[in-house]
């Protein structure tokens, strides 16, 4: 994102990079490598929506997510009138198996928009964020099934994400957590009609079931969360601030969902049954590639004060070398990609049992859902 440029000098960038590469890393705000910034969250703030949430990070960034649902007629891909009947007869069984029918659920039923102040809503960066969050939600294929009503109708879910404050850091974790909470608080009216007739719904909002049920067999399943992790040198940092992103060697957005393993006895081990599963990841272009480079004093004639033509060749060679190899204490934007070993250690750190993801999920569980 081009507007993410920070106003740090090359010397500051180099200092920050080297202090973050230490073991343990020293972060500008004093956090440990795996510590998240504190946040305040509330859900159900907008009665006019099916579900909503608001999250404020301690640095002042704030996001609001609202979920709205509409009923839509399912259009079959072939455009024919009798497709559904045709499929029904083709499946032979008389169409009793709802699970089988739900296979027709499609990811297009979820529409997601991200609104960031100062950016156009069709800006590539905004679209990238929206697609990233959408992909994580749909990756396991279970989400679209929740929107299925019957063979002829489905819910269309609109998820609007608004960042209230100007983006002070890459807003991905914030938006992801807000979306998570909004979906947890989302309710859809209870269906009264049966089978394939036109859907009729219960007027009583109190009776409406949650999109992610809290009771019964399916209880405990929750929407995925997306974490942003950066690698600086050998250290892996979670929830990077803007300054930390500006010196990151690589940034990876990792989405994971929580799978509750159903054990024989439901009453025990409710919490220990959590198992984290990777659903999607994407590398994010680190803004560090756009930071201004520093000039080493060996290559700076103004600093050395002399210009000796005889040493010109030597200096050229030196310059060549400087271009190829980074020098200690001189900032240079990272070049090339990331070794897979680094990416892999990021993924391991995310998926680690009792690690950051667990901590974040535990924190989110503590949010009072209304």
Closest distance between other proteins and the C-beta of residue 215, in Å?
25
Site for other proteins in 234-253 (CB under 8 A): 252
Of the pair 142, 310, the CB lying nearest other proteins is at: 142
Closest distance between other proteins and the C-beta of residue 291, in Å?
9
CA distance 348 to 352: 6
Q: Phi and psi at residue 285, in whole multiples of 5°? A: -65, 115
Helix (H) or strand (E) holding 360: helix 356-365
CA of residue 8 relative to chain centroid, distance: 27
Q: Candidates 262, 283, 297, 304: give the one binding other proteins (CB under 8 A).
A: 283
CA distance 117 to 217: 41
Helix (H) or strand (E) holding 348: helix 340-351
- From 71-79, 215-223, 231-239, 266-274, span contacting other proteins (CB under 8 A): 71-79
Q: Candidates 40, 89, 311, 320: give the one binding other proteins (CB under 8 A).
A: 40
User: If binding is defined by CB under 8 A, does position 127 make contact with other proteins?
Assistant: yes
Site for other proteins in 174-233 (CB under 8 A): none
Alpha helices by DSSP H, listed for 47-123, are: 83-91, 98-101
Site for other proteins in 81-120 (CB under 8 A): 87, 90, 106-107, 113, 115, 117-118, 120
Q: Provide the token pair at 94.
A: 């008389």
- From 146-154, 225-233, 236-244, 270-278, span contacting other proteins (CB under 8 A): 270-278
User: If binding is defined by CB under 8 A, does position 60 make contact with other proteins?
Assistant: yes
Site string for other proteins, 308-347 (x = CB under 8 A): -------------------------x-xxxxxx--xx--x
- From 15-23, 48-56, 262-270, 308-316, span contacting other proteins (CB under 8 A): 48-56
CA distance 221 to 184: 10
- From 23-31, 158-166, 197-205, 233-241, span contacting other proteins (CB under 8 A): 158-166
- CB-based contact 256:279 (threshold 8 Å): yes
If DSSP codes are grouped into helix, strand and coil, which group holds residue 161? strand
Q: Candidates 26, 71, 191, 290: give the one binding other proteins (CB under 8 A).
A: 290
Q: Torsion angle, CA of 194/195/196/201, rounded to 10 degrees?
A: 20
Q: Omega of the bond prior to 262 within 30 degrees of 0, cis?
A: no
Of the pair 209, 273, the CB lying nearest other proteins is at: 273
Give which of 183, 265, 253 is closest to 222, Cα–Cα.
Answer: 183
Closest distance between other proteins and the C-beta of residue 8, in Å?
14
User: If binding is defined by CB under 8 A, does position 172 make contact with other proteins?
Assistant: no
Give the DSSP per-residue string, 273-289: TEEEEEEEEEEE--GGG
- From 17-25, 227-235, 263-271, 272-280, span contacting other proteins (CB under 8 A): 272-280
């Amino acid at each position: 994102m081009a507007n993410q440029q920070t106003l740090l000098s090359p010397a500051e960038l180099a200092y920050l990079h080297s202090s973050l590469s230490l073991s343990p890393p020293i972060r500008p705000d004093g956090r440990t490598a795996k510590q998240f910034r504190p946040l305040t969250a509330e859900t159900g703030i907008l009665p006019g929506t099916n579900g909503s949430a608001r999250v404020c990070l301690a640095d002042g960034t704030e996001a609001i997510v609202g979920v709205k649902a509409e009923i839509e007629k399912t259009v079959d891909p072939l455009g024919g009138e009798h497709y559904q009947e045709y499929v029904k007869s083709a499946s032979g069984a008389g169409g009793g198996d709802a699970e089988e029918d739900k296979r027709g659920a499609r990811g297009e039923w979820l529409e997601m928009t991200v609104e960031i102040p100062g950016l156009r809503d069709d800006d590539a960066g905004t679209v990238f964020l929206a697609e990233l969050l959408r992909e994580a939600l749909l990756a396991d294929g279970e989400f679209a099934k929740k929107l299925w009503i019957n063979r002829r109708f489905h819910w269309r879910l609109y998820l609007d994400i608004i960042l209230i404050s100007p983006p002070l850091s890459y807003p991905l974790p914030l938006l992801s957590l807000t979306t998570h909470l909004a979906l947890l608080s989302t309710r859809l009216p209870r269906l009264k009609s049966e089978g394939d007739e036109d859907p009729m719904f219960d007027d009583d909002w109190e009776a409406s079931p949650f999109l992610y049920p809290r009771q019964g067999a399916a209880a405990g399943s929750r929407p995925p969360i997306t974490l942003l992790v950066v690698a600086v040198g050998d250290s892996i940092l979670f929830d990077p601030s803007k300054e930390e992103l500006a010196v990151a060697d690589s940034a990876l957005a990792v989405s994971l969902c929580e799978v509750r393993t159903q054990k024989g006895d439901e009453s025990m081990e409710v919490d220990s049954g959590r198992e984290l599963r990777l659903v999607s990841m994407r590398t994010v272009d680190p803004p560090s590639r756009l930071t201004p480079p520093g000039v080493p004093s060996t290559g700076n004639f103004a600093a050395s004060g002399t210009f000796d033509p005889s040493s010109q060749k030597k200096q050229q060679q030196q310059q060549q070398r400087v271009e190829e190899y980074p020098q200690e204490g001189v900032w240079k934007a990272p070049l090339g990609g990331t070794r897979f070993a680094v990416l892999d250690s990021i993924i391991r750190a995310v998926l680690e049992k009792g690690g950051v993801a667990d901590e974040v999920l535990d924190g989110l569980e503590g949010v009072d859902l209304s």
